[in-house]
Amino acid sequence: MHEAVDLQDVRERAVRSYYSEGGLRKWVSEKWVDIGAPKKDGKYQPCGRSKGSKRKYPKCVPLAKATRMTKGQKASAVRRKRAAGNPGGKPTNVKTFAKK
């Protein structure tokens, strides 16, 4: 009986630790960029596009991930995202890294 209480305590501490270090809140607050629209100076445009914009369908990833991706990985992700299209006006989720 004593061990069950300890396991519960361990679980609670793990959950508290996860949320205190960020988790979903950290993921949402990251700087998201469009890897399909790089600027000439090597930076990226912010994620998304305004209504009526003529920009191509954006492929958004956190800036930290974008800087770690190779040129080929970025091109592949953007190509797959745009090939999936935008049926029904809803965003389409496409994996950033293709399966091998």
Residue 20 is predicted with a pLDDT of 62
Q: What confidence tens digit (pLDDT) does each residue in 52-99 have?
A: 777 788 889 999 999 999 999 999 999 998 888 777 777 777 888 877
How far apart are alpha carbons 33 and 31 in whole angstroms?
A: 7
Residue 5 is predicted with a pLDDT of 53
Q: How many CB atoms lie within 10 A of CB 49?
A: 15
Residue 11 has pLDDT above 80, yes or no: no
Residue 34 is predicted with a pLDDT of 92
Residue 16 has pLDDT above 60, yes or no: yes
How far apart are alpha carbons 83 and 37 in whole angstroms?
A: 16
pTM, two decimals, is 0.66
Supply the DSSP string of 69-100, one letter for each residue: S-HHHHHHHHHHHHHH--GGGS-----SS---
From residue 13, give the alpha-carbon distance in Å to each of 3, 9, 16, 20, 38: 15, 6, 5, 10, 42
Residues 8-20: what's their mean pLDDT?
68
